[in-house]
Amino acid sequence: MRPAQNPPNPWQSAHVEYFADVPPAELHVYEEEAKEVVSENDSPDLGFTFSCNPYRGCFHGCAYCYARPSHQYLGFGAGTDFERRIVVKTNAPERLRAHFLRPSWRGELVAFSGVTDCYQPLEASYGLTRRCLEVCHEFRNPVGVITKGALVERDAELLGRLARDASAVVTISMPFADEDLARRMEPFAGSPARRLRSMRALADAGVRVGVAVAPVIPGLNDDQIPAVLELAHAHGARHAFLSMLRLPAEVHDVFFERLRAAVPLRFDKVVHAIEELRGGAHDDSRFFARFRGQGPRWRLIEQLFAVHCRRLGLNERRFEAAATFRRPQPPPTAPRARQGELFG
């Protein structure tokens, strides 16, 4: 891992229209050549087995991000280091191609990204996610994307081709309908309005689009679930899911510090609501329990979500990706010319 002396500046790129104002914090970029970019997980409560992560750390700076502890494996912190010391896997497309060429690979769905957002601002400069998607299209490998980055709109046409020729599903994470509250808790992610615009562009390109009301923060955004679903459906989303806030040890302090700064008058209310849904605790790391709350209040949240999904027709069709994977055939070798033919 080596620091980039002059890292690309996404705010001076051709894609600056996808971003909000330039943030004040200094960005440190580290480039590395990864040995592998496809990760396999055996968690029984995740909807995918394989994921591809071209970046480590995430510029969006969401206060609640459960992936923050992963940055500590690099010797960085889970707070501002996670947001401003970004590691770029410069050879991600090449490593993905090498992975697909393995005889053991059978064309399973690859999720972008399982840890940090594959459409964070540096993608505008490096283009690694786009190049990885081009590899997936070449091999007809199914793809699932979850993001809150407006830059996904740039790749709508490519994802549309992937949807037609293999399978491509994009889920936009949108826990807030309120623009001001979203900016306080997700300071450098695309605004809800920009995410909705991305949904429409993707849906118009033929991509299956969904919305993730994630995380649900009781006392802060659970009352916005109907509005989020309504807006997402109006912009082309046809499936939805929700999940409860997760607060692993290192995320706990970051989240509560920023929550207090963002909504000081609601801070105690939100803390008590989290404790109510977590049986007096702030987190539950057990499989299946970690994405759901418990008790009457959580059941009401799930019912609210289900009622509005039924009303809007979300999640009516179950989708299974077809087996489309193929390894491109090498070009045929031209017959070897005899010496006399080489010189006429």
- Condensed to tens digits (0 to 9), the pLDDT of residues 73-119 reads 889 998 999 999 999 999 999 999 999 999 999 999 999 987 899 99
Using alpha carbons, list the distances in angstroms from residue 55 to 22, 96, 127, 233, 290: 20, 14, 11, 30, 25
CA–CA separation, 34 and 87 (whole Å)? 10
Residue 276 belongs to a domain: no
Tens digits of residue pLDDT in 37-73: 999 999 999 989 999 999 999 999 999 999 999 999 8
Using alpha carbons, list the distances in angstroms from residue 170 to 156, 200, 240, 278: 10, 11, 11, 30
Residue 221 belongs to a domain: yes
- Residue 20's pLDDT band, with cuts at 50, 70 and 90, is low
The alpha carbon torsion through 219, 220, 223, 225 (nearest 10 deg) reads -130
Can you tell me which residue has the tokens 């200094």?
A: 26
CA–CA separation, 154 and 167 (whole Å)? 18
Can you tell me which residue has the tokens 């849906």?
A: 203
Which CATH number goes with the domain that contains 153? 3.20.20.70
Q: Would the pLDDT of 271 be above 50?
A: yes
Residue 167 belongs to a domain: yes
Structural domain for 183, as ranges: 2-242
Residue 291 belongs to a domain: no
CA–CA separation, 198 and 201 (whole Å)? 5
Residue 56 belongs to a domain: yes
Residue 2 or residue 156, greater confidence: 156
pLDDT given for residue 202 in this prediction: 98
Average pLDDT, the chain: 90
Residues of the chain with pLDDT > 90, as a percent, come to 79
What does DSSP say about strands 50-52 and 143-147: parallel, antiparallel, or unpaired?
Answer: unpaired
Pair of tokens at residue 323: 């087996």
Tens digits of residue pLDDT in 220-268: 999 999 999 999 999 999 999 999 999 998 899 999 999 999 999 999 9
Domains contained in the chain, number:
1
pLDDT given for residue 60 in this prediction: 94
Which H or E run includes 32? strand 28-32
Tens digits of residue pLDDT in 3-14: 765 556 555 555
Q: Would the pLDDT of 158 be above 90?
A: yes
Beta bridge partners of 31: 2, 88
What is the mean predicted confidence (pLDDT) over 258-279? 97
Burial class (CB in 10 A: 0-12, 13-18, 19+), 256: middle
Pair of tokens at residue 130: 């786009």
Residue 177 belongs to a domain: yes
Q: Omega into 218 within 30° of 0, i.e. cis?
A: no
CA–CA separation, 207 and 137 (whole Å)? 14
CA–CA separation, 232 and 196 (whole Å)? 6
Residue 145 belongs to a domain: yes
Residue 139 belongs to a domain: yes
